[in-house]
């Protein structure tokens, strides 16, 4: 398994690049930055693709998505063959992702799985959202409590449906703190793409980890000053 180098700072890019080689970039996307532009998000990650090209004549291509208010690991492909390879890995379900979230409350159990299909609905008044509905696509999420005092939970999605973790957390009666659609929307949403494992090279799969954002309420519980390391939660099921 490859071990990424320390985070890379690229001029003009206001976030860390966690990993870079000739094929891929993995960035630490900040919360609040949309991946693609839209009517409500004219500023987006696409604004930084020229800088992320690092002098290459071809701009890199964003390989997948994170919600605007989700922080953490995001993969960017640096050339056409790489985007084809990475897209195939995502479509085949071979990319393993680990998310951390702070929930409004916690279930009694310490771990579990949710298998609930997701379907998109919309209305002129409320806009669009995802709901659990048998008409939808299958969605599977595994979860594990990391720290009860911090209400910190690890999510390991088997599938990659839109808003999957947010809807599944809310369906348990324990929405993600700050979720503006499926929770109370009070304060920033606390969902972080903690790690990603990508078998771009089958002989040496790449695992990249993004530290918790400094403003998270759980951060102090795991600071070196308290003599506690970040929990080692496995990326793969």
Using one digit for the tens of pLDDT, what is the confidence trace for 33-57? 999 988 887 899 999 999 999 888 8
Q: Which of 199, 172, 203, 213 lies closest to 30, judged by CA?
A: 213
Best-predicted range by mean pLDDT (3-7, 72-76, 184-188) = 72-76
Of 3.40.50.10420, 3.30.2350.10, 1.10.3470.10, 1.10.10.10, the CATH number of 17-213 is 3.30.2350.10
Mean pLDDT of the 115-134 span = 90
pLDDT tens digits along 161-177: 999 999 999 999 999 99
What does the pLDDT read at residue 223?
53
Q: Which of 185, 169, 171, 194 lies closest to 103, judged by CA?
A: 169
pLDDT at 109 over 80: yes
pLDDT at 237 over 70: no
Active-site residue list:
67
pLDDT at 207 over 60: yes
Q: What percent of the chain has pLDDT over 70?
A: 89
Q: Which of 189, 211, 152 lies closest to 15, judged by CA?
A: 211
**Gap between the Cα atoms of 86 and 158, Å rounded:** 17
Residue 220 confidence class, pLDDT cut points 50, 70, 90:
low
């Amino acid at each position: 398994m490859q071990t990424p180098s320390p985070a890379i700072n690229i001029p003009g890019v206001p976030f860390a690049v966690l990993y870079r080689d000739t094929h891929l970039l993995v960035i630490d996307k900040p919360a609040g930055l949309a991946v693609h532009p839209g009517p409500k998000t004219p500023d987006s990650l696409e604004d930084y693709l020229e800088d992320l090209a690092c002098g290459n004549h071809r701009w890199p291509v964003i390989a997948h998505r994170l919600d605007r208010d989700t922080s953490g690991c995001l993969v960017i492909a640096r050339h056409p063959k790489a985007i084809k390879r990475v897209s195939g890995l995502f479509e085949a379900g071979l990319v393993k992702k680990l998310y951390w979230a702070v929930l409004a409350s916690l279930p009694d159990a310490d771990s579990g799985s949710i298998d609930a299909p997701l379907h998109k609905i919309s209305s002129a008044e409320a806009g669009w959202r995802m709901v659990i509905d048998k008409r939808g696509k299958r969605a599977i999420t595994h979860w594990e409590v990391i720290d009860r005092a911090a209400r910190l939970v690890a999510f390991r999605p088997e599938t990659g449906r839109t808003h999957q973790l947010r809807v599944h957390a809310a369906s348990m009666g324990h929405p993600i703190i700050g979720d503006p659609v499926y929770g109370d929307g009070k304060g920033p949403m606390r969902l972080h793409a903690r790690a990603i494992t990508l078998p771009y090279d089958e002989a040496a799969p790449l695992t990249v980890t993004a530290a918790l954002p400094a403003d998270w309420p759980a951060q102090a519980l795991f600071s070196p000053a308290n003599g506690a390391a970040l929990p080692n939660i496995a990326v793969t099921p």
